[in-house]
Amino acid sequence: GSLKSFKILIFFINSISIMRFSNILALSLLSSASAFAPSIARRSFSISTSLQMAELTQDELKKMVGYKAVDDYVESGMVVGLGTGSTAYFAVERLGQLLKDGTLKDIVAIPTSIRTKEQAEELEIPLVTLDTHSKLDVAIDGADEVDPQLNLVKGGGGALLREKMVEVCADKFIVIVDDSKLTDGLGPGFPIPVEITPFCHEHTLRLVGALPSCDGCKPVLRMGSSSSNVNDGDEIAVTDNGNYIVDLHFEEPIKDAVAMANEIKSTVGVVDHGLFCDMTTAVIISSADGISVKEP
């Protein structure tokens, strides 16, 4: 058991310096029996939450949760939803690795954006669409905010519609984040994106901003790149679906995320929004103290 755990850990941290590797290896071998043995059959490399990872970069922490999500929740023969963003990137990378080395077989995947599709194609991951596979076994994606009820804000990268269409069809939806994404209340920490039709978009922006559940918000039309909610251009941002995005900025926490989600979705001119409520199966969280998993 310890030998297999050792090999998995070596493979996982190949981008970490020799010094970091030595520190992590020493700690992980001491706890390998308890950390790895229960889930070796599923290729899990569960890392003890007592493992100190303060020296790891943000990308290294993202890589850990991305790899863990695939190792713990993806099995041969599954239909897998591939998320979009800097954390989901590593889950896609790990899936490609395990398919290439033969650990996983007979996998098909559904990407949630053009850039995820391009990454998956480079890794030779077999791709399908919802048109042929309306039921998914698991979907893995990041999030911009997570509240105590595991409701999410997603869509900072502009892929919220395709993400929701794919992830709502999954038997399990696994969210991968670092602990900076955890919040007591959605809203102030990250704007709520709303995808709207280009037709009379200013009208729809005003309608959404005036909704009772959105009281106090400042609706801002996203400009420049659709993959960033920071204004980085003079042209209106256009999503993969040809739509616009309005970002709702809040100074106070949203009182009722579920009610707000329903009210926005029922507004004519709105395609969908970045509130993902009652969808999460588990959240895998990285922090300086290690990896933890939170479930509803």
**Is 163 considered catalytic here?**
yes
Indicate left, alpha or beta for 158 from its phi (over 0: left) and psi (-120 to 50: alpha).
Answer: left
What is the distance between the alpha carbons of residues 246 and 212, in angstroms, rounded to a whole number? Answer: 17
Could you give the CA distance from residue 73 to residue 231 in angstroms, rounded to a whole number?
Answer: 37
Q: How many CB atoms lie within 10 A of CB 138?
A: 21
Catalytic member of 93, 163, 167, 195: 163
Tokens linked to 210: 């005036």
Q: Which residues are catalytic?
A: 163
